[in-house]
Chains A and B, each alone.
Chain A
């Protein structure tokens, strides 16, 4: 004799639903974690020149390094961004009124190491193509493109793990 499902039977499944949902979420998060891998990168675009002798206060943490590497007398922060880079999703940041564009793409993420492809395009011309490994505590300075008002543009990248 066929027996219709009773409310009691449906209630039984509904009661178990939260538990099943938790299991499903855990299962998918394990397997989809790589697909949704992301890394946060602090990016600063700096105008380095010999016009003046001031260092932007927001660059105080880099002052020592910049001083030991370069002979510029002035460092001005043009733009600061915190980028959330997702795997294989390029992000572009323009500086100097759009004349210089930095494109960053996360191509690999490991425990405390991010592999990032970087392209610098100046006025539509790709002048640099590189791939770097961002590690905790390491700063990458990408510089050299000329600024119209003299000096150069330097990009400072710092990974947050």
Chain B
């Protein structure tokens, strides 16, 4: 933790809202990234960001500097996001009801098949992520979304590295199972992939 951040945290612990604003400016995107990774809805993710920083202001006195500040913040964010996700229910809102959802006619105009599949896949990934236990979901988000190292993840999740690796492994395995129709995930359509791009159900 650099000196500037230490000083910022210290001022915030004394109730300085300006210091909180500085922390907010520094970390709001990261917090949003984690929140969105869990709930995959903009409004909910923004609510989570708001809640996290309010909570942080009231509880930052408990931060003793034993871990890195950002892992402390990420843990708070993940716990808050998972609570929100639980309140939302197991199945998050269908993408067809979301702002910015597409109509079949739209997709036909924009090069339809690819966009349609993209949206469908995103929705499938969201639903599959919702099916994962909270700890596995958290591990995948910390790793694939936020890019934390195993050590950082262990700190943020309050676990050992071995547990982190196990959660990652089983989370990925489960996701691959849930998304097994979408073989060759993420590959360019034009690349010579003998397995093909389309879901099996859509293949002729």
Contact residues of A with B, CB < 8 Å? 1, 3-4, 6-9, 11-12
B178 in contact with A3 (CB, 8 Å)? yes
With A1-B178, A8-B174 already in contact, 18 other A-B pairs whose C-beta atoms are closer than 8 Å: A3-B131, A3-B174, A3-B177, A3-B178, A4-B177, A6-B170, A6-B173, A7-B166, A7-B170, A8-B133, A8-B135, A8-B136, A8-B167, A8-B170, A8-B171, A9-B133, A11-B166, A12-B133
Does more than half of chain B's interface fall in helix, strand or loop, or is it mixed?
Answer: helix
In Å, the complex CA distance between A154 and B201 comes to 93
Nearest A residue (CB) for B179: A1
Contacts of B173 in A (CB 8 A): 6
Contacts of B174 in A (CB 8 A): 3, 6, 8
Contact residues of B with A, CB < 8 Å? 131, 133, 135-136, 166-167, 170-171, 173-174, 177-178
Does more than half of chain A's interface fall in helix, strand or loop, or is it mixed?
Answer: helix
A6–chain B nearest beta-carbon distance, Å: 5
A32–chain B nearest beta-carbon distance, Å: 37
Contacts of B178 in A (CB 8 A): 1, 3
Contacts of A12 in B (CB 8 A): 133
Contacts of B171 in A (CB 8 A): 8
Contacts of A9 in B (CB 8 A): 133
Contacts of B131 in A (CB 8 A): 3
Contacts of A3 in B (CB 8 A): 131, 174, 177-178
Contacts of B177 in A (CB 8 A): 3-4
In Å, the complex CA distance between A108 and B154 comes to 58
A28–chain B nearest beta-carbon distance, Å: 32
In Å, the complex CA distance between A4 and B171 comes to 12
Contacts of B136 in A (CB 8 A): 8
Most buried by B among A3, A6, A8: A8
In Å, the complex CA distance between A8 and B170 comes to 6
Contacts of A6 in B (CB 8 A): 170, 173-174
B127–chain A nearest beta-carbon distance, Å: 9
In Å, the complex CA distance between A109 and B202 comes to 76
